[in-house]
Structure 1
Amino acid sequence: MHINLWRSWAVSSVLFAGMSGVLPAQAASETEYSTQALNEQLVMATVWMQASAEYKALSYQAFNLAKMQFDQVDREYKGNKPLAVVVDADETVIDNSAYQAWLIGQDQGYSSKTWGEWMAAAEAKAMPGASEFLAYVAKQGGEVFYITNRNVSGLEGTRKNLQDLGFPNVDDAHILMKTTTSNKAPRRQQVAENYEIALLIGDNLNDFSNDFRTKGMAASDAAVEKNKALFGTKFIMLPNPGYGDWEGKLYNGNWGASAAEKNQMRKDVLEVWKP
């Protein structure tokens, strides 16, 4: 900026601040919004996921329901293909809330670098009820497929993590990671060619069907209404208030928006009571 122009801008800013009763530094602090400040919004969701008994109860509920539905399919199925259960990984059978907790206090958001380090560390814990359910499926003769949008570069750490947790069918044939697309439909179809998929379990609507690959919140709501009979029967949903495709829809797909813009777009969708 040219020095004289800068001086004019600075003088105008001071005069405006003086008239409004706000010091320049105070005015700047009100207009600047950092990624660290945005990350503070993760606190309540992450605390709930890590500490509340309600979160654990919902996870147990999901897998108890999954067992009931798997048993029903197993009793009634007359086909020739073996039965399979398709599960997502993150926030479905393994808990990554420690990574979310690490972001709190950092002036950076999710990145492939730090997420890669987290995957390599192989420290994610099992979701409550996941180990028991997956072991039950295997004991009944079913197979488990892990269709995850973790990048294939994280295969080694992911495999180790799942093996350390004692999950069944942890091999390259059953872990289907993202390669060129985040669309899970081709991988689901790959499983369906040789197996009857009894259940799909996930924390994100795109874990279930391409009906949910929508571009906005209203379209997602409509897709849920269209498929509502499948939730609790074919589709088993796990709670995840921390992150997901739903967040990108708040931003109209603009993940590169500034922290201030994301903060505003999050608040713009709130239904606010006015006394």
Structure 2
Amino acid sequence: MRLPLTCALLALALAACQPVRPAAPAAAAVAVAADDNLNAVLWLQRSAEYRALAEQTYRAAADHLDAALAEADWDALVPEERGPAVAARPPAVVLDIDETVLDNSPYQARLVRDGGEYDDPSWDAWVEERKATAVPGAVEFARAAGARGIVLVYISNRATHLKRATLDNLRAQGLPVADESVFLGLGTAVDGCEQHGSEKDCRRRLVGQRYRVLMQFGDQLGDFVHIDANTPEGRQRLLDRYRDWFGRRWWMLPNPTYGSWEPALFDNAWSQPRQTRRAAKRAALEVAP
């Protein structure tokens, strides 16, 4: 039935006066705090670029193995860490474990998801899960070294009480473990050498007494040489001094998620509140004028 024209016009006018209500959102937005490690962890887990870099590093190192073996006085330990009669010792390669041969990004991802920070109990629990996967290229390099009779020695800042879980994880990922002596964790006692904090120089000296070290692999400077001053300037001095060793004796793996470079930006004072440390990192940014 048609309405009279006047009624229709009145209905249109009343409809135009009604307030417009916004559509209800499909779901309420959840506030998520910013996390400095979000992009870094995603890059490790999702980018083809990370995998390319890791494989490129290990492939290039494998190409240098024969030359290093052939040169009798070739050694990847700094002179003060080498043992005597280097040429007579069996050849070895020294590797850090975390973010060098084993990828722990799922642990870092948990911290990002939960808004947490590293602590020993959560880290120990992760290691005991034995779920870390091999860094791209690490297993292939290990096979190349093993085919040449080269022993792989792991110097790690995983504590010694995590040895069993760590060796299980390495073996499960196809990384060779000649025997339990090739794992030198944090807390390993070295006669005549006093270890300070997590520095690895005492353990490298121990390896130098047993082997001729052809190469070292790590994801931060302290994996290769003792850091006297963990400041940006001190770290740069070390890089300048040993620049020619990288890509020959020393091989660096990318790790943007953590490392001694970070506390160097806030005077190594982890006791400071998280926001204070974050402010110091922001202040260290180099911003274009």
Instruction: Give the TM-score category using the shorter length.
Output: 0.7 to 0.9
| 1:75-98 residue CA offsets vs partner (Å, 9 max, x unmatched) | 223722111000000000010011
| Corresponding residue for residue 151 of structure 1 | 159
Match of 2:120 among 104, 112, 122: 112
SS at the partner of 1:41? coil
Note the C-alpha offset of 1:72: 1.0
| Corresponding residue for residue 240 of structure 1 | 255
| Corresponding residue for residue 43 of structure 2 | 48
Aligned residue identity for 1:186 = C
Q: How much is the aligned-residue C-alpha RMSD, in angstroms?
A: 1.5
- Quick check: which has more Rg, 1 or 2? 2
Match of 2:89 among 71, 75, 81: 81
Aligned residue identity for 2:56 = Q
1:21-40 to 2 correspondences below 5 Å: 37=33, 40=35
Aligned residue identity for 1:65 = A
Note the C-alpha offset of 1:215: 2.5
| 1:3-61 residue CA offsets vs partner (Å, 9 max, x unmatched) | xxxxxxxxxxxxxxxxxxxxxxxxxxxxxxxxx846x1111111111111110011011
Question: Is the counterpart of residue 224 in structure 1 residue 260 in structure 2?
Answer: no
Match of 2:57 among 53, 56, 62: 62
Whether the 8 Å contact between 2:230 and 2:260 is mirrored in structure 1 is no
1:250-265 to 2 correspondences below 5 Å: 250-265=265-280
Whether the 8 Å contact between 1:85 and 1:142 is mirrored in structure 2 is yes
Question: Is the counterpart of residue 125 in structure 1 residue 125 in structure 2?
Answer: no
SS at the partner of 2:184? strand
1:129-144 to 2 correspondences below 5 Å: 129-144=137-152
Which whole-Å CA distance do the structure 2 matches of 1:107 and 1:48 have between them?
Answer: 18
Which whole-Å CA distance do the structure 1 matches of 2:64 and 2:280 have between them?
Answer: 38
| 1:155-184 residue CA offsets vs partner (Å, 9 max, x unmatched) | 121111001112112532100000164121
CA 93–133 in structure 1, closer or farther in 2 if over 3 Å, else same: same
Whether the 8 Å contact between 2:167 and 2:177 is mirrored in structure 1 is no
Task: Tell me the TM-score normalized by structure 2.
Answer: 0.79
Which whole-Å CA distance do the structure 2 matches of 1:213 and 1:148 have between them?
Answer: 19
Aligned residue identity for 1:160 = D
Match of 1:175 among 173, 183, 200: 183
Whether the 8 Å contact between 1:93 and 1:127 is mirrored in structure 2 is yes
Which whole-Å CA distance do the structure 2 matches of 1:227 and 1:37 have between them?
Answer: 40
SS at the partner of 2:214? strand
| Corresponding residue for residue 72 of structure 1 | 67
SS at the partner of 1:116? helix
Which whole-Å CA distance do the structure 1 matches of 2:273 and 2:33 have between them?
Answer: 12
Gaps (5+ residues) in structure 1? 1-35
CA 195–229 in structure 1, closer or farther in 2 if over 3 Å, else same: same
| Corresponding residue for residue 101 of structure 1 | 109
